[in-house]
Every structure is written in structure tokens, then in C-alpha cells.
Amino acid sequence: MNNKIKISLFVLLIIGIIGINILYKNKSNTPRPKSNLAIMIDENGDGNYTSSTSIPIGSYVLNEEKTVCENGGKVKSYNNSTGQIGFSFLGSDRCSLYFEKVEKPTISNVSLNGNNLSASFNSKKSLCCYAITTSTSEPSDWTNINGSSYTLNTSLTNSGTYYLWLKDSYGNVTKYRDGIVVNISKGWETILLNNGNGAATVENAKSYIEGKGTPDFNTISTTNDGMYAAEDDLGKSYYFRGAVDNNWVEFGKDSSGSDIYWRIIRINGDGSIRMIYSGTTAPTSNTAVVMTGKGTQINEATYAYNEEYDKTEYVGYMYTIGEQHGYGTSSIAKNQIDEWYKKTTMNTDNSIKKLVSDQPFCGDRSVTLDTSVTPGEISDWQSSGVYYDYGAFIRLSKNKNPTLICPTSSDKFTVSALNGNGVLTHPIGLITADEMAMAGGSANTGNTEYYLYTNQYNWSISPIYYSSSRANEFTIKDTGRLGNYRVNNTTAADTVGIRPVINLSKDVILTGDGTYNNIYTVS
């Protein structure tokens, strides 16, 4: 009988405990009577609270630091959509609730300049983060910021419609009212539009330029002929010719930290942009077309092209004795270019380096023993005691027919073997003699009016001929005429300078119009 009584008492005890827990749970989720609540609201965000008889609904937050309940009670939750408060305590503890009205953060002064987006962010409270999306859906990835104000400056890299979002530390989200429509032209597109006779589209600009046909390469170009089109190894190329004044680019810094200026030679067939060094002096109205002096050469210095001259191979940008297309030894010209390049930001700054493209430099070493025969490969190659005319000599001095197509794939000097011979250390080289002619030069006549003229001698990457014991390279002479120099002539070492050539990526964006007072800048 005693066991039955004990069991009955135990069951009653369990039922009692469960009942108390249910009562506690019900009481903890039951809103407090308003008589037990002191409701204080800051409507202006200035720290001044006024008493209210109702819990606010809308853009309000509960100030958890100020809010307090007697006897250790706590506020569990606040739903600003319904005005409901959740509590966690027993009894009739009194609570003082502090609410603050929160205005959504604001986005203002939105401006788009080319591909550069700027905006002002502000909030009466602290900011959390922002996002730029191409979707109207609220983003999940945010960029963190802090403070109550922030100025956005960023570059957009693709055309499209963008949406700007801002969030404060309370989680309030603002989306800028309009989508931001961005039409970003790639650098090559910008160049074409600026030289398309007012064309509104890139295709129309191409049509205008291609419609000009092929210029007469028997004559020099002394006026601003704009751009022409020709095929290259990558597709359709568009090149500048004559006294052009809108092919200036500022890009990179040299070892002293000085800005480097370039002249655009052409748009390559894949959209990359080929440029020739023009020094560290910005152009002015007086030098908008022609800039002269040794300052247009790296190190303001002159160099021999190679150490020796008595073998045919010394015409090579790189060469191997006994081979028509060898790469075993670098020329003096290449070594000087590499030494200069590796100290520039084009090599030391990854954000600049990634904008440089690896495109072929055609050091064409096709040859002929007979000027009536098309230059090509020589089966019985001789290092001396012969007379070789190289391909560029036949094209420019005999036929007046320059080309942008490299006749020999093994002479396409590149870093990667994917698009050339893969033997370069850095993606930099020299201009070809064909490009000199297409720019407005001639092997017969001087020209002091076209954009390549500097009143200096400059090396090209193109061999011209080997005569018994003398290797010769094409140059631009101080008269602007295409000429030649023996590769290690003592006079050449004291006379001929180096103007390196690089290629910008087809994806770069150019800001400006290429004139002396609005030089293209690269991003």
C-alpha cells in the first residue's frame, strides 16, 4: 500500500512541475500590460525621447542598451511590422522600452564619367556596407564600409545596367532609384570612334576607315591622314598614318617614377593596341604632332644593335650562329630594352602589368639571293661571304609594298609559344620597318612631318641586308627617311637610339581623345 501512495505522489509531483512550466512559458510569451511598460521614442535621431502610450510600428529599432526591465526581466524580441514585443520573465515586472526611429541610408550625387562611378552615402546611424549588382534582387555579397558617410569612387569594366545598394548597421537597405546604364567602349573601339569621321558606331567607323583604301606607299605622308586598314596575323588592323595628333597615350612609370608617354602605331587584329615609346615629357601644342630629341629614346642614349657585324646572324633581335632563325643570344638592343622594361611599373606593378598584352614582334629573317625571287628559307645557309637581301628590303625598297603579316612564324617574337616563338622574357620589342613605312616614312625620301619623326636615328627590328661581311638593320634616320646602319658600327653606337614598342590588352579602357591636352589614359 505504501508503494501505491508513493507512486501516486510522484505522478502528482510530475504533473505539477509540467503545469508550472506551461504557466511560465505562457507568461513569458504574453505581452505585458501597457500599464507595466514605459514606452519612450526618439523620433528625430537626436537622443531626445518622448513618452508614448503605444509601441511604434514602422522604421524603428529597439535600443537594447537603454531598455531595462525590473527584477532581471528581459525583452526577447521586437517586431516593428506588428508592434509586438516578446518578454522573458515571471510576474509583473515593469519595463522601460526605448525605441529610435531609423531613416534608411541615402544614396546621392550619383555620377558616371566614362566608366568611373561616384556616389555619396549617408546615414544618421553608422553605415554597414554597399553593393553594385546587375540584378534588381537584393544582393548577398556586400563591401564593408563604416562611419556615417562615405564617398564611392570605382571603375566599371563592362557595359550593362548596374544597381547601387546601401545598408546601415541596423540592416536598413536602400536601392538607388534608377538602374545606372553604362556603355563602356574598349580602348580599340574608342580609337576607332575618334577616327571614324564622326561615326556613331564602331562598325560605321570601321567602314569609313576601310573605305579609304590603301595609301600610295611610293610617297611619304606629311598631312594628317588619320587611320587606314590592313590585314595582320590576327585579323584586321587599323593603323595611323602621317601628321596625326591624336595618338598620344600616358601609360606606366619608369624607374625614376616619371610618367611614360607613347604614340599609338596601330590597333592589332585582335583589338590589342601597339604603341611606341615617346619619352617622359608630356606633349604640348608645339609637340602635338612631332616631338624631337633624345628624350624620345630610352635612357636618352644610343646603342649598337649587336656586338658584332661580320656574320649574317647578327641582324637578329636574337640569334644563333649558323642558323637563319636562331634565338641563343640576345642582341644588345634586346638586352637594353629588357633592362629598361623590368624597372618600370609595367613589370613591377601587377595592376599595370596585367594591362600589357603579349603580341608578336616580327623580326622577319626571310632572305633572297636574287631580288626577283620572293624571300624565304635558305637551305644552304651561310654565315658570311654571301649577299642576302632580307624580306623588308624587298617589300620597302624595291616593291613599296609593306605588310603587317609576318612571313615566318619562327620570327614572331613573343613570351608565350601560343602566339609566337615564345623566346622573349618580357612582352616588349621594336617597331618593324613595314610599320615605319605605313606610318608615313619612305626608303627614298625624308619626312619631318609624320608622327614617328624625332630628328634622331632609331633602330627597327627588321634586317635589311647582309653584304659580304656587314650585317645591316633598318633604321629611321634623323631626316625621317627609312635607312640602314651596320649593327655594331661605332658611329651607330654613338648615333642610333631605341624606342621600345609594347601592346596594350584588347580589354583596356581608354579615357580621353588622344590629343596633347586630352591624352589617352589607360585602365
Q: What is the per-residue pLDDT across 170-207, written as a single tens digit (0 to 9) for each?
A: 888 999 988 998 888 899 999 999 999 999 999 999 99
pLDDT of 523 > 60? The answer is yes
At 28 the pLDDT is: 41
Task: Extract the C-alpha cell encoding 253.
Answer: 612609370
Residue among 334, 284, 282 at smallest CA distance from 306? 334
**Arithmetic mean of pLDDT, 77-89:** 86
> Which segment, 31-45, 71-85, 304-318, is predicted with the most confidence on average?
304-318
Give one DSSP letter per residue of 433-483, joined into a string. HHHHHHHT--SSS--SSSTT--SSEEEEEEEEEEETTEEEEEEE-TTS-EE
Q: What is the mean pLDDT of residues 24-39?
A: 57
Q: Each residue of 280-304: b (16+ CB within 10 Å) or e?
A: beebeeebbbbbeeeebbbeeebbb
Report, as an integer, the average pLDDT of 354-369: 98
pTM: 0.75
pLDDT tier, 73 (very low <50, low <70, confident <90, very high otherwise):
confident
Separation CA 48–CA 352 (nearest Å): 53
Q: Where are the domains of the chain?
A: 31-101, 106-182, 189-522
255 contacts: CB under 8 Å, gap ≥ 6 = 340, 343, 344
The upper half-sphere exposure of residue 521, i.e. CA atoms within 13 Å in the direction of its Cβ, equals: 10
Q: Tally DSSP H helices, then E strands, for the chain.
A: 9, 33
Average pLDDT across the chain, whole number: 91
Can you tell me the distance from the alpha carbon of 455 to that of 243, in angstroms, rounded to the nearest whole number? Answer: 15
Distances in Å between the Cα of 396 and the Cα atoms of 245, 411, 461, 485 are 25, 18, 14, 16
Where does the pLDDT of residue 29 fall: very low under 50, low under 70, confident under 90, or very high at 90 and above?
Answer: very low
So what CATH class is 106-182?
mainly beta
